A and B are shown apart, each in its own frame.
Chain A
Amino acid sequence: MPIPGSASHERRRTLPGRKRGDRPLTAQPFFELWVYLAATPLAGLTLTLVMYVAGWWCYARTGMHPLANPVLIAVALIVTVLVATNTSYKTYFDGAQFVHFLLGPAVVGLAVPLAREWGSVRRLAGPIAGALVVGSLVALVSAVGLAKLLGASPATVLSLVPKSVTAPIAMGIAEKLGGLPALAAVFAVTTGILGAAIGKYVLDACRIRDWRARGFALGLAAHGIGTARAFQVNAEAGTYASLAFALHGLLAAILFPLGYALWSIRA
């Protein structure tokens, strides 16, 4: 509480009035400053982090409700800001690429949980291999089949192939198949958000109580975003999610392009 009559009280009272008077003078430099800042990588990078923090805040405020996914909120907010300020994705990505780049080392780092859990992976090799193959095939065949059936264009269908694989690997696979890498990344991120948001309800409906199975399913179907969600719910689920995420990425990166090559030779 400022003491009435003190300097701070006076300043607070007079500042808004003075600012209002200055506005016609400051508008031009402010606009120039905005043009300058919007064109530097700083803007895109700051926007990404600020909106993610805002998304995380909403997520935490709702008690980590699966539908209040922080990635979804952040993407929606950023797209709104970019459209409202008429900023191109390219300008935004000049800054955001620094965050995007970290996906590479993050994928390399997946080897660490994989190696650490190698003992339990070997013990559970049967269930893991079975669930990996079945889940991967179901995700691939249902997405491609439905999209083709409903009349999607070939480029869209090819970009849907790696949708359950983490975005950087999905982009690589789509490129090898002749799809659109950027679209494949969007599909992968959408699938990740979707899986993290509805996974709980699907797993509850199927009466899956085993945390290993719940985590593995989230990591396989919803890659990194599902893995992040699994870690927030249960540590064991998180470990199995990162396992599924890593194994599915590795398997898909090797087998999807090979399978597609064989398929197109036959067709």
Chain B
Amino acid sequence: MSRPGGAWGWRWPGRRINDAAVSPGDAVFALDGGNRRLSPLLVGFTWLLLFQCAGEALVRLASLPVPGPVAGMALLFVVLLVKGRPPEAMSTASEGLAKHLSLLFVPAGVGVMLHVARVADEWMPIVVALGVSTVLAIAATALTFQWLARRHDADPGERES
């Protein structure tokens, strides 16, 4: 995972590095000099936390109606659009988290314990509302997307003229 571009992943503007230059030999290099190079996962994770902090700060200061991580995501998104391609370290960290995304929901799911009484009292409306609305939402989203995408794919000529 040796990518030239500095330990922090960001490159100076104007210094373009050719991806084709990354050869299998670089892997050996990374092993060789690995003790000096920070793990991309660690670097990327640090960036994600910094953006989360920035998001929290923005939400507090401007009293925005969104959760901090969402503001952090929006900030990072804007920065990435300006920078062009996301740095390697950040892709590594975000993909690492995304791969185990379902694990992260387990503690919140176990929270059902706290609301056993409420869920038992109102189980019927809860089960019906969650079940029916999930089926409807999946069907409606997929049908709308497919219908619009077909119309979109059908008239690319019209867009060019």
Contact = CB atoms under 8 A, between A and B. Distances in A.
Interface string A19-57: 000000000000000000000000000001101100000
B50 to A, nearest CB: 9
A33 B115 CA distance: 30
Interface stretch (B17-25, B32-40, B122-130): B122-130
The list of the 5 closest CB pairs from A to B, nearest first, reads A109-B94, A135-B141, A172-B67, A150-B125, A96-B107
Contact of A102 (B81, B104, B124, B141): B104
Given A107-B72, A108-B69, A168-B69, A115 B131 contact: no
A186 B105 CA distance: 9
A93 B51 CA distance: 25
A199 to B, nearest CB: 5
A79 B101 contact: no
Name the interface size band of chain B: 35 or more
Given A152-B122, A203-B142, A160 B129 contact: yes
A89 to B, nearest CB: 5
Given A115-B81, A142-B132, A186-B115, A107 B110 contact: no
A213 B130 contact: no
Given A48-B107, A108-B69, A222-B134, 15 more contacts: A96-B110, A106-B98, A111-B73, A112-B80, A127-B149, A128-B145, A150-B124, A150-B125, A152-B129, A202-B135, A203-B142, A225-B105, A231-B98, A244-B141, A250-B73
Interface of A: 48-49, 51-52, 69-71, 74-75, 78-79, 82-83, 89, 92-93, 96-97, 99-100, 102-116, 118, 124, 126-128, 130-132, 134-135, 138-139, 142-144, 146-147, 149-153, 156, 160, 163-164, 167-169, 171-173, 176, 180, 182-183, 185-195, 198-199, 202-203, 205-206, 208, 210, 212-214, 216-218, 220-222, 224-225, 227-229, 231, 242, 244, 246, 249-250, 253-254, 257-258
Contacts of B134: 139, 164, 191, 194-195, 198, 221-222
Contacts of A102: 97, 104
Nearest to A128: B145
14 contacts: A71-B109, A105-B49, A105-B97, A116-B86, A116-B91, A134-B140, A139-B133, A169-B67, A194-B134, A213-B143, A217-B145, A220-B137, A253-B67, A254-B66
Contacts, number: 332
B28 interface: no
Contacts of B57: none
A258 B103 CA distance: 31
A189 B108 contact: yes
B122 A156 contact: yes
Interface string B30-57: 0000000000000001001101100100
Contact of A203 (B77, B128, B138): B138
Interface in B53-110: 55, 65-70, 72-74, 76-77, 80-81, 85-86, 90-91, 93-95, 97-99, 101-110
